[in-house]
């Protein structure tokens, strides 16, 4: 018997039209196929009417590719970026509340400083830190604090952007030219004409 | 002009001539506005499910958009089965629902249901109209989405206040159909390379190829490749062509299933490898390199491993593949296929099979044949010989009982000059039997209903016989079935009955000769199976070819008495 391999994580960015139920549509698609979403962050973008989601899903390559192709069919989805295919920066914001006592107080503060974490709340028996960083940094930070007694944590979920210019975003999403304005959402133009690219397979 | 009138004006602008529906409180402004648009015909069905299936029948026969309409809450939820059916069978369908006024939405108001939430997974897209200024544009966009790419159902939910609100904008014209990107030349070249080397190639054609029949026929002949048409693809290749092997899958032909199991190259066009087609996936086409042509990228590699993916339109791909044709001689393969084909059995004794055969043998190439769901459906699919696509109207993906009659009405209304025959079981017919009233109301004259009455929910009974040691649980209808002839009579639909092999030809003659829509009940022996059959979860090569002898059970001949 081979020990079960942990399924790898995939980091996807999905640009969507900012419309009611768009979040439901996307999460339902994952849910129906039994893919577990590990983290999900959504926010607005520089373009009115377009939101950006960062989703972390676990599953093998085939599973994620199938999910992406199903997502691409959704009318609300403008573009999907699979960050495993390119260079990217990612961040997560985490709040960590750690138990302290007079003996551990200084040591805990020192660890936080080493991680460039900020104290956002001070209590007699607990300190709350804010830390941002990539997954490795956050995991390391939490592991360092764990022996002191972590009372609560809250993570925003990962967010990511590709490195460099917006070269990955096809011109039919952004009009060429200086302003790079997005086409009006729900434009009369057939969606197929600004269709997203399907992974190289074809 | 208010929102409701803008809706009809938009539909009319898009050439929508017929809408199937049912009114109610939350859609009354739309029905009121209808009286101002005589160019659109509204067909009142007797149940919203009937409206949805009728719209599907229309779309399946013509390839054009079907439109159905319902009020909020119970009206809208009654459309759900039809929408799910259209989703799985990729039918272009527009559903318009009324809803409670915007300020009441989300308050559990009278007859409110969150229909966009409910239909999220069973529509290609759906909308709630929040502003009357958006209404016509949304409807036009919904129509485009329903028809483009891989077609499917789109729902537009319109709150009552939006229907009543004044509209001052333009009425949009139809969107041009977007150009479909051509398959990549590399993928076509790789596919041709595989086909050139193939000793035992086979082509499998699904419902996504219905509008590519000419190209596919040319392709098969150019490469000299035998063709299997799935349940959804029946008619895409002429049954009279010697290259046709029949239908694959659970109730597929011996030749088709053996050919798949032996093939070294399988060229699939516009199909999604449904589990009823593949049987156990690991045993499906075990020796074949698979070329999969599909418009929908998500279908490629979804179920079966694909060696050469070809993304694109079936007609375009077929044309390109035919251009590269260099068919090697494959005499051995042909001889093997002919031997398997000779095994195709025609039902000999009196039973559902011979009854269905007697009916489908009377079809003309232009006739539409709809079916409900069950044994009679599989028998019709096995026995009918389609020469053209879009003549076979059936619920393949969802397997919806109650589909047959309303779908035949919709198809028959789309093609009033063509005979629209429907074969149904005694079980499924009763799920939408009330649509007989629609035949009467619109004096529809071309719908010919045939009920194969075996007094059982036959398909379920067959599974209980084969896989549950004959424990027949909740499948007997014999004591409670209505007198179908009297039932038809109550709706003023002429009806005929045959109970023996001798009576059947005369009854069929009278039924078809009747100038009106008419019903034929064929009473058949109770226990009759559909074979060949691949048990669920088995590989196609594990097909049971003929009906097993059942010791102690009455033979079909004996139960005739
Ligand atoms: C709405 C719906 N409910 C249940 C089923 C499951 N089902 C499939 S075939 C069948 C029996 C159909 O019986 P009948 O209409 O008499 O046709 P027969 O199989 O006898 O030809 C049933 C119950 C279904 N397909 N659809």
> Which residues are within 8 A (CB) of B150 and not within 5 positions of it... i.e. 6 or more apart?
A73, B90, B208, B295, B296
> Could you give the C-alpha distances from B442 to B21, B58, B337, B445, in angstroms and in order?
14, 16, 48, 9
Interchain pair A192, B178: CB under 8 A: yes
What span, in angstroms and rounded, lies between the C-alpha atoms of B263 and B289? 9
Residue B374 alpha carbon to ligand 1 centre in Å: 5
pLDDT, residue B551, reads 52
Q: For B16, what's the count of Cα atoms within 13 Å in the CB-facing half-sphere?
A: 35
CA distance A6 to B148: 40
| CB-based contacts of A119, cutoff 8 Å, min separation 6 | A109, A112, A127, A128, A129, A130
C-alpha distances (whole Å) from A65 to each of A36, A75, B295, B315, B416 are 14, 18, 17, 26, 46
If one compares A184 and B537, the residue with the highest pLDDT of the two is B537
Give the whole-number percent of chain A exceeding pLDDT 70. Answer: 78
Please answer yes or no on whether B184 and A202 come within 8 Å at the CB atom: yes
| pLDDT above 50: residue B176 | yes
> What pLDDT, in 10s, does the model give residues B125-139?
999 999 999 999 999
Contact predicate B10/B136, CB 8 Å: yes
Atom nearest to B452 CA in ligand 1: 21
What is the token pair recorded at B65? 């958009």
Taking the CA of residue B426 as reference, the ligand 1 atom at the shortest distance is 16
The tokens describing B386, both together, are 């389609």
Closest by CA to B268, choosing from B207, B340, B185, is B207
Pocket of ligand 1 (CB under 6 A): B 372-376, 399-402, 425-428, 452, 454, 456-460
- Taking the C-alpha atoms of residue B60 and residue B53, their distance in angstroms, rounded to an integer, is 10
Q: Is the pLDDT of residue B515 over 60?
A: yes
Least reliable range by pLDDT among A139-153, A157-171, B517-531: A157-171
The structure's pTM equals 0.91
Of B120, B172, B184, Cβ closest to residue A24: B120
Question: Are the C-beta atoms of A36 and A58 separated by less than 8 Å?
Answer: yes
- Using the predicted structure, report yes or no on whether residue B234 has a pLDDT greater than 80: yes
The tens digit of pLDDT for each residue in B279-336 reads 999 999 999 999 999 999 889 989 999 999 999 999 999 999 999 999 888 999 999 9
B101, with CB counted inside 10 A (0-12, 13-18, 19+), is middle
User: Average pLDDT, stretch B528-544?
Assistant: 92
Nearest-Cα residue of chain A relative to residue B152: A73
Residue among B359, B373, B423 to mutate when testing ligand 1 (max atoms within 8 A of CB): B373
Q: What does pLDDT average to over chain B?
A: 95
pLDDT at site B181: 83
Q: Supply B39's token pair.
A: 């160019």
Cβ distance A72 to B298 less than 8 Å, yes or no, reads yes
- Residue A73 token pair: 């069919």
* Chain-chain contact of A73 with B121 (C-beta, under 8 angstroms): no
d(CA B427, ligand 1 centre) in Å: 6
């Amino acid at each position: 018997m081979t020990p079960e391999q942990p399924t790898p994580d995939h980091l996807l960015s999905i640009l969507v039209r900012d419309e009611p139920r768009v979040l439901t549509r996307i999460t339902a698609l994952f849910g129906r196929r039994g893919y577990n979403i590990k983290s999900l962050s959504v926010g607005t973008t520089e373009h009115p009417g377009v939101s950006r989601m960062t989703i972390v899903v676990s599953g093998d390559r085939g599973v994620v590719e199938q999910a992406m192709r199903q997502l691409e069919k959704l009318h609300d989805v403008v573009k999907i970026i699979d960050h495993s295919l390119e260079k990217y920066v990612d961040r997560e914001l985490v709040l960590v509340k750690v138990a302290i006592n007079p003996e551990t107080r200084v040591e805990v503060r020192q660890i936080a400083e080493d991680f460039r974490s900020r104290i956002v709340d001070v209590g007699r028996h607990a300190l709350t830190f804010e830390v941002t960083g990539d997954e490795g940094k956050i995991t390391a930070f939490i592991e360092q604090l764990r022996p002191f007694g972590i009372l609560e944590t809250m993570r925003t979920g990962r967010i990511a952007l590709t490195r460099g210019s917006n070269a990955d975003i096809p011109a039919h999403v952004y009009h060429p030219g200086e302003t790079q304005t997005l086409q009006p959402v729900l434009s009369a133009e057939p969606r197929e004409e600004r269709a997203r690219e399907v992974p190289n397979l074809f | 002009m208010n929102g409701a009138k803008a809706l009809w004006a938009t539909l009319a602008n898009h050439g929508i001539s017929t809408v199937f529906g049912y009114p109610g409180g939350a859609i009354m402004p739309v029905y009121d506005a209808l009286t101002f648009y005589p160019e659109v015909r509204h067909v009142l069905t007797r149940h919203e499910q009937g409206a949805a299936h009728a719209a599907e029948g229309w779309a399946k026969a013509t390839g054009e958009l079907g439109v159905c309409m319902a009020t909020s809450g119970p009206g809208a939820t009654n459309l759900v089965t039809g929408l799910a059916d259209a989703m799985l069978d990729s039918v272009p369908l527009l559903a318009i629902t009324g809803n409670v006024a915007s300020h009441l939405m989300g308050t559990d108001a009278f007859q409110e249901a969150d229909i966009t939430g409910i239909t999220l997974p069973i529509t290609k897209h759906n909308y709630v109209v929040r502003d009357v200024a958006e209404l016509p544009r949304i409807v036009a966009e919904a129509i485009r989405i329903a028809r483009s790419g891989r077609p499917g159902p789109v729902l537009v939910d319109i709150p009552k206040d939006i229907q009543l609100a004044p509209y001052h904008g333009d009425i949009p014209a139809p969107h041009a159909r977007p150009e479909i990107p051509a398959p990549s030349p590399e993928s076509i070249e790789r596919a041709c390379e595989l086909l050139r080397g193939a000793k035992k190639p086979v082509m499998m054609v699904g419902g996504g190829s219905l509008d590519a029949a000419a190209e596919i026929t040319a392709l098969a002949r150019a490469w000299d490749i035998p063709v299997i048409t799935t349940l959804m693809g029946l008619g895409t290749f002429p049954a009279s062509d010697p290259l046709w092997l029949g239908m694959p899958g659970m109730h597929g032909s011996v030749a088709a299933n053996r050919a798949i199991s032996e093939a070294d190259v399988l060229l699939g066009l516009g199909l999604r490898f449904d589990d009823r087609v593949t049987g156990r996936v690991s045993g499906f086409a075990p020796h074949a390199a698979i070329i999969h042509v599909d418009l929908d990228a998500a279908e490629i590699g979804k179920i079966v491993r694909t060696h050469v993916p070809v993304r694109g339109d079936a007609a375009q791909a077929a044309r390109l593949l035919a251009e590269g044709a260099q068919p090697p001689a494959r005499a051995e393969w042909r001889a093997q296929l002919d031997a398997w084909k000779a095994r195709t059995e025609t039902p000999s004794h009196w039973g559902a099979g011979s009854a269905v055969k007697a009916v489908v043998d009377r079809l003309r190439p232009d006739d539409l044949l709809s079916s409900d769901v069950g044994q009679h459906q599989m028998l019709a699919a096995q026995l009918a010989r389609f020469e053209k696509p879009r003549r076979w109207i059936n619920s393949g993906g969802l397997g919806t009982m109650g589909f047959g009659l309303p779908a035949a009405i919709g198809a028959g209304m789309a093609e009033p000059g063509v005979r629209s025959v429907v074969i149904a079981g005694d079980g499924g017919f009763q799920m939408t039997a009330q649509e007989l009233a629609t035949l009467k109301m619109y004096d529809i004259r071309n719908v010919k209903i045939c009920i194969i009455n075996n007094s059982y929910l036959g398909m379920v009974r067959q599974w209980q016989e084969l896989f549950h040691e004959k424990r027949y649980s909740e499948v007997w209808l014999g004591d409670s079935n209505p007198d179908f002839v009297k039932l038809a009579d109550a709706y003023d639909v002429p009806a005929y009955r045959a109970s023996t092999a001798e009576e059947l030809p005369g009854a069929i003659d009278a039924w078809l000769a009747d100038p009106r829509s008419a019903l034929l009940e064929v009473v058949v022996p109770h226990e009759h199976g559909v074979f060949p059959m691949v048990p669920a979860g088995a590989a196609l090569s594990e097909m049971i070819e003929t009906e097993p002898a059942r010791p102690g059970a009455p033979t079909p001949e004996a139960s005739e008495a």
